[in-house]
Amino acid sequence: MSQLMRTSSMAGLPVVTFAGDAVAQLRDLIFSDGGGEIAGFTLAGRGFFSGPKHTVLPWRQVVGIGPDAAVIRAEDDLVDRKVYLAELENSAAERAAQQTAGTSADAPATVSGNVIGSTVMTDAGTALGKVSDVVVEIGAFGSGQADVIGYEVEQPGTSGKVLIPLPDTLSASGEHVMVPAAVTNFQSDNLESLQRAVIELRKGSSS
């Protein structure tokens, strides 16, 4: 059974092993290429004055995550930050090469990145606002899947925020996230209605 979480609620969660040891805390997210999935987390040490760690937590090593902790099997599930980011960059390069060659790729390419603060722009040229939070649908743990299904967007010229659903694929950079104009027909104000909006949007995109 899947669950929806805002990524802001994950920051600062302790990382706890099966042995009950709190070995780190979640710091920032590592997003996949284009921001479509979570690839993992950067980490900080435990304690108020702890700085960043040189290890990261790949999403595939997360056994469970909830409002109080992220659970892993053992501390050695954490991997060297530089090594993991290089692995993700290589995956992204391989996928780009396959797409250029006109072949399909089974595994998603991944690179580190962050869409918070990026402007959401429709393919009709309308700016919807800036991304203030990301909503993730977490599948069965062990599946290695955490799909980004929506953004919380601060609307320009107002103090209001709305949730917008995302299509299966999207294009994102440090400045802009491109979405179909149809997302404006499916804005919502809570996670439950967002989940329904995602289904309707993607159903319409595939028909």
56-66 pLDDT, tens digit per residue, is 999 999 999 99
pLDDT of amino acid 144: 57
Domain that holds residue 54: 3-84
Q: What residues in the chain have per-residue pLDDT under 50? A: 104-112
Q: Same structural domain for residues 74 and 133?
A: no
49 domain-assigned: yes
90 domain-assigned: no
User: What torsion do the CA atoms of 105, 108, 109, 113 make, to the nearest 10 degrees?
Assistant: 160
pLDDT of amino acid 37: 82
User: What single-letter DSSP state applies at residue 143?
Assistant: S
Please, what is the end-to-end C-alpha distance for the chain in angstroms?
Answer: 26
Q: What distance separates the 2 farthest-apart alpha carbons in the chain?
A: 52
pLDDT of amino acid 90: 84
pLDDT of amino acid 105: 46
* Residue type (1 letter), 160: G
200 domain-assigned: yes
* Residue type (1 letter), 69: A
141 domain-assigned: yes
pLDDT of amino acid 91: 80
Residue 103 neighbours by CB under 8 Å, 6+ apart:
none
What is the tally of structural domains in the chain? Answer: 2
pLDDT of amino acid 98: 73
pLDDT tens-place string over residues 5-47:
999 999 999 999 999 999 999 998 888 765 678 899 999 988 7
Q: Same structural domain for residues 51 and 127?
A: no
33 domain-assigned: yes
Determine the Cα–Cα distance for residues 53 and 78; give it in Å rounded to an integer.
10
Q: Are 123 and 180 in contact (CB under 8 A)?
A: yes
pLDDT of amino acid 140: 61
Q: Same structural domain for residues 11 and 59?
A: yes
Q: Same structural domain for residues 200 and 124?
A: yes
- The alpha carbon dihedral of 197, 133, 145, 13 has a sign of negative
